[in-house]
Amino acid sequence: MLDYEHFTYPSIAQVLSNAGYRTALFHSGRFMYLGMDSIVQNRGDQTLEDAGDIGGNRNSSFGVDEPSAVRRMLSWIDSLSEGEKFFLTYLPIAGHHPYATPDGGPFSETDEVGRYRNALHCGDAALGTFLNGLRERGLFQNTLFAIMGDHGEAFGQHEGNYGHTLSIYEENIRVPFIIAAPGLFAGQTMLNRTVSLIDTAPTILSLVGLPIPDNYQGRSLLSGEDGMALFFTDYSLGWLGLRDGRWKYVYELEAGRSMLFDLDEDPEEQVNAAAQHQEQVRV
Q: Are 164 and 193 in contact (CB under 8 A)?
A: no
- Helix or strand holding residue 51 (H, E): helix 51-54
pLDDT band at 14 (very low <50, low <70, confident <90, very high): very high
Separation of alpha carbons 216 and 68, rounded Å? 34
Residue 199 contacts residue 167 (beta carbons within 8 Å): no
Does 278 have pLDDT greater than 60?
yes
Euclidean distance between the first and the last CA atom of the chain, given in angstroms as a whole number: 26
Identify whether 269 is part of a domain. no
For position 61, what pLDDT does the model report?
A: 58
Task: With residue 232 as reference, give the H or E element that holds it.
Answer: strand 228-233
How many domains in the chain?
A: 1
pLDDT digits (tens, 9 = 90+) for 122-131: 999 999 999 9
- On whether residue 255 sits in a domain, the answer given is no
The pLDDT value recorded for residue 155 is: 95
240 falls within a domain: no
Separation in Å, CA 148 to CA 127, 200, 251, 278? 12, 9, 26, 35
pLDDT tier for residue 242 given thresholds of 50, 70 and 90: very high
Report pLDDT digits (tens) over 98-150: 888 878 889 999 999 999 999 999 999 999 999 999 999 999 999 999 999 99
pLDDT at 235: 87
Summarize pLDDT for 54-73 with one digit per residue, the tens: 987 776 657 899 999 999 99
Percentage of the chain exceeding pLDDT 70: 96
pLDDT over 90 (residue 174): yes
Q: What is the domain extent for residue 157?
A: 4-226
Domain CATH code at residue 36:
3.40.720.10
Average pLDDT estimate for 203-224: 93
pLDDT of amino acid 59: 67
Mean of pLDDT values over 159-181:
94
Q: How confident is the model at residue 83 (pLDDT cuts 50, 70, 90)?
A: very high
Q: Choose between 101 and 179: higher pLDDT.
A: 179
Q: Identify whether 148 is part of a domain.
A: yes
pLDDT tens-digit series, residues 30-44: 998 877 888 888 899
Percent of the chain with pLDDT over 90: 73
For every residue of 174-199, DSSP letters joined together read ---EEEE-TTT-SS-----S---GGG
User: Does residue 2 have a pLDDT over 60?
Assistant: no
Q: Give me the mean pLDDT over the 173-182 stretch.
A: 94
Is there a domain that residue 213 lies in? yes
Residue 242 bridge partners (DSSP): 230, 249
In a domain, 18, yes or no: yes
Q: Does residue 252 lie within any of the structural domains?
A: no
Residue 71 lies in a domain: yes
Computed over every residue of the chain, the mean pLDDT equals 91
Q: Binning pLDDT at 50, 70 and 90, where does residue 180 land?
A: very high
Q: What's the pLDDT at 168?
A: 96
